[in-house]
């Protein structure tokens, strides 16, 4: 049952491919720090390869490539296959939202000659990790006149950055005795944005100066925060990690590493596949896949109905057959075994950095609660596909029994009665502002998703 380290299997030429893929992925990560930016990148990459908006395609035929854009925050890509959809399709699904802090609707205030933006954190974070870091703002401001302004501050080398302060160690005796979950309180995650009062303004002059800058740069008034979605994320680019450059440190590997692997796998399919291939990039996974852009919304099912209609194949019964006959890899990151925290893992069933794409038969917490537990028969079939495709893979579960748990979008697609299994890339420091993956695992994930899409 020993799994091989992928790096030991690469010859020179293949190792170069691994490194080149890592470089391309880093560009995707740097350009896609929010779900909106990831959707834009996905469209940019796929339109170059001939994908068109499904809404603009009147009819469809085998070989066509289309995308479905859901409110600019979730996207699906399809390659129409030779078989009718009612026989089922092959789906890879990941999420493109990541843990962060969101700016509140009434955020701007001044205290002691400093101006702040108040935030509400999004997803599961260790709050103490988000202080004393250079942070950037990414998002949109939707104005009353219908215009939408893009905001990105803190990424250009010449841009200013923002951040949350922490108490100096000299005065931290009481703070250091607190539990880690409350050592930094959620309401204390306020971002410092200014410290220079506007001359000739008496009331809140620092805030007034910040508002003047926002007006000048983005044409926005304070009230426009009411209809803004601005995310606070770590500022700066992803980097090669390790003296051997075998890894990448970056913001949002969860789950953009799987999202990128899926897009790359779709782009590598240049033939017309037997079964229709689908790549889902969902929003809101980190808060339970809720809302109109989360996986629980019916955009996947609706897109399938539209596609069947444009193929001249639609009926309610055929749609239901298409959904239940489909096969899916729910692609999400897994906890990488961390020798510094070995006690939280069970080593025989842990994912190791460098040992390839990881399959999780089940996730969940306690007695597998909330888990999509994949069928043995399905895993048997996947083993054959992976071995035939020379994919290096491992199997794991998320930590030791009863230590914790987690979930993905797998259970939502399983509601249609299709076969689903979790599969992804192992991450160190998952959900931290800067997470770490191995380039080899990304490379094996692309291989795995490609052979799955073509051969499942
Ligand atoms: Mn995830
Ligand atoms: Mn996550």
Which of 184, 206, 234 corresponds to the end of one domain? 234
In a domain, 243, yes or no: no
Same domain for 185 and 299, yes or no, is: no
How many A from CA of 173 to the centre of ligand 2?
Answer: 33
How many A from CA of 391 to the centre of ligand 2?
Answer: 25
In a domain, 240, yes or no: no
Same domain for 52 and 91, yes or no, is: yes
Residue-wise pLDDT tens digits, 292-328: 999 999 999 999 999 999 999 999 999 999 999 999 9
Same domain for 272 and 415, yes or no, is: yes
Strands 52-53 and 65-70: parallel
Domain boundaries, position 420: 6-98+251-455
How many A from CA of 168 to the centre of ligand 1?
Answer: 33
Ligand having the closest approach to the CA of 257: 1
Is residue 439 within 8 Å of residue 353, measured between CB atoms?
no
Same domain for 191 and 323, yes or no, is: no
In a domain, 53, yes or no: yes
Task: Kindly list the protein residues that place their beta carbon closer than 5 angstroms to ligand 1, a single-atom ion.
Answer: 254-255, 332
Same domain for 430 and 353, yes or no, is: yes
How many A from CA of 386 to the centre of ligand 1?
Answer: 22
Interacting residues of 212 by C-beta distance below 8 A, sequence separation 6+:
198
Ligand having the closest approach to the CA of 432: 2
* Range 202-218 average pLDDT: 96
For CA atoms 221, 223, 228, 232, the dihedral sign is positive
pLDDT reported for residue 372: 86
3-state helix, strand and coil shares in percent for the chain, rounded to the nearest 5: 35, 25, 40
**Domain with 18 in it: what CATH number?**
3.40.630.10
How many A from CA of 456 to the centre of ligand 1?
Answer: 23
Ligand having the closest approach to the CA of 123: 2
pLDDT reported for residue 317: 98
State the Cα–Cα distance between residues 115 and 315, nearest whole angstrom: 58
pLDDT reported for residue 399: 87
| SS3 call for 166 | coil
How many A from CA of 254 to the centre of ligand 2?
Answer: 5
Residue-wise pLDDT tens digits, 276-301: 999 999 999 999 999 999 999 999 99
Which of 270, 280, 288 lies closest to 370 in space, CA to CA?
A: 288
Same domain for 364 and 425, yes or no, is: yes
pLDDT reported for residue 426: 98
Interacting residues of 3 by C-beta distance below 8 A, sequence separation 6+:
352, 355, 356, 392, 393, 394
pLDDT reported for residue 398: 86
pLDDT band at 363 (very low <50, low <70, confident <90, very high): confident
pLDDT band at 160 (very low <50, low <70, confident <90, very high): very high
Strands 191-194 and 247-250: unpaired
How many A from CA of 199 to the centre of ligand 1?
Answer: 47
How many A from CA of 258 to the centre of ligand 2?
Answer: 12
Ligand having the closest approach to the CA of 334: 1
Same domain for 315 and 443, yes or no, is: yes
Same domain for 66 and 165, yes or no, is: no
In a domain, 229, yes or no: yes
Residue 254 has pLDDT above 90, yes or no: yes
Residue-wise pLDDT tens digits, 333-362: 999 999 999 999 999 999 999 999 999 999
Is residue 123 within 8 Å of residue 431, measured between CB atoms?
yes
How many A from CA of 98 to the centre of ligand 2?
Answer: 7
Q: Please tell me whether the overall predicted TM-score, pTM, comes out greater than 0.75 for this model.
A: yes
pLDDT reported for residue 403: 87
The DSSP symbol for 152 reads E
Which of 182, 204, 234 corresponds to the end of one domain? 234
Same domain for 310 and 354, yes or no, is: yes
State the Cα–Cα distance between residues 158 and 175, nearest whole angstrom: 35
pLDDT band at 450 (very low <50, low <70, confident <90, very high): very high
How many A from CA of 283 to the centre of ligand 1?
Answer: 10
In a domain, 315, yes or no: yes
**Domain with 140 in it: what CATH number?**
2.30.250.10
How many A from CA of 237 to the centre of ligand 2?
Answer: 20
How many A from CA of 238 to the centre of ligand 1?
Answer: 18
pLDDT reported for residue 248: 98
pLDDT reported for residue 364: 84
State the Cα–Cα distance between residues 140 and 105, nearest whole angstrom: 13
Residue 226 has pLDDT above 90, yes or no: yes
How many A from CA of 333 to the centre of ligand 2?
Answer: 8
Same domain for 282 and 430, yes or no, is: yes
Domain count, the chain: 2
Same domain for 48 and 178, yes or no, is: no
Please give the mean pLDDT across all residues of the chain: 97
In a domain, 162, yes or no: yes
Residue-wise pLDDT tens digits, 386-407: 999 999 999 998 888 988 888 8
How many A from CA of 58 to the centre of ligand 1?
Answer: 35
In a domain, 318, yes or no: yes
In a domain, 241, yes or no: no
Which of 204, 234, 264 corresponds to the end of one domain? 234
Strands 357-360 and 393-395: parallel
How many A from CA of 3 to the centre of ligand 1?
Answer: 24
Residue-wise pLDDT tens digits, 71-108: 999 999 999 999 999 999 999 999 999 999 999 999 99
Specify which residues 38 forms β-bridges with: none
pLDDT reported for residue 264: 98
pLDDT reported for residue 428: 98
How many A from CA of 173 to the centre of ligand 1?
Answer: 36
pLDDT band at 236 (very low <50, low <70, confident <90, very high): very high
State the Cα–Cα distance between residues 55 and 367, nearest whole angstrom: 44
Residue carrying the six token digits 């229709």? 276
Same domain for 257 and 400, yes or no, is: yes
**DSSP letter string over 376-429?**
HHHHHHHHHHHHHTT--EEE--SSSTTT-EE--SHHHHHTTT-EEEEEE-EEBS
Residue carrying the six token digits 């028969």? 377
Interacting residues of 98 by C-beta distance below 8 A, sequence separation 6+:
123, 233, 251, 252, 254, 255, 256, 286
| SS3 call for 234 | strand
């Amino acid at each position: 049952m020993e799994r091989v380290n992928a790096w030991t299997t690469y010859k020179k030429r293949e190792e170069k491919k691994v490194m080149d893929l890592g470089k391309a992925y880093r560009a995707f990560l740097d350009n896609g720090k929010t779900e909106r930016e990831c959707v834009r990148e996905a469209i940019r990459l796929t339109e170059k390869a001939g994908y068109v908006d499904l809404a603009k395609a009147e009819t469809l035929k085998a070989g066509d490539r289309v995308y479905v854009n859901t409110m600019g925050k979730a996207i699906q890509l399809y390659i129409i296959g030779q078989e009718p959809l009612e026989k089922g399709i092959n789906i890879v699904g990941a999420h493109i939202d990541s843990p962060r802090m969101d700016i509140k609707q009434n955020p701007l205030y001044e205290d002691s000659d400093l101006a702040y933006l108040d935030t509400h954190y999004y997803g599961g974070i260790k709050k103490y990790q988000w202080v004393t870091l250079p942070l950037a703002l990414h998002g949109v401001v939707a104005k009353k006149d219908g215009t939408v302004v893009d905001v990105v501050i803190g990424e250009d080398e010449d841009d200013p950055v923002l951040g949350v302060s922490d108490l100096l160690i000299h005065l931290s005796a009481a703070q250091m005795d607190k539990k880690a979950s409350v050592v930094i309180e959620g309401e204390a995650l306020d971002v410092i944005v200014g410290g220079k009062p506007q001359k000739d303004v008496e009331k809140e002059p620092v805030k007034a100066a910040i508002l003047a800058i926002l007006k000048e740069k983005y044409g926005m008034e304070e009230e426009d925060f009411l209809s803004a979605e601005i995310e606070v994320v770590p500022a700066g680019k992803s980097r090669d990690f390790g003296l051997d450059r075998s890894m990448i440190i970056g913001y949002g590997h969860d789950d953009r590493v799987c999202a990128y692997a899926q897009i790359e796998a779709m782009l590598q399919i240049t033939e017309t596949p037997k079964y229709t291939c689908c790549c889902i990039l969902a929003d809101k996974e980190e808060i339970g896949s809720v809302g109109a852009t989360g996986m629980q919304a019916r955009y996947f099912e609706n897109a399938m109905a539209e596609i069947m209609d444009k193929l001249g194949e639609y009926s309610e019964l055929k749609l239901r057959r298409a959904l239940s006959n489909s096969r899916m890899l729910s692609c999400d990151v897994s906890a990488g075994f961390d020798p510094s925290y070995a006690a939280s893992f069970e080593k025989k069933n842990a994912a190791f950095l460098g040992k390839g794409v990881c399959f999780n038969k089940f996730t969940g917490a306690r007695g597998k609660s909330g888990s999509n537990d994949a069928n043995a028969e399905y895993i048997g079939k996947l083993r054959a596909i992976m071995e035939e495709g020379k994919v290096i893979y491992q199997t794991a579960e998320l930590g030791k029994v009863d230590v914790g748990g987690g979930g993905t979008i797998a259970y939502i697609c399983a509601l249609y009665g299709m076969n689903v299994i979790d599969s992804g890339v192992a991450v160190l420091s998952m959900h931290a502002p800067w997470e770490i993956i191995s380039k080899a695992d990304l490379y094996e994930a692309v291989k795995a998703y490609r052979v799955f899409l073509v051969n499942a």
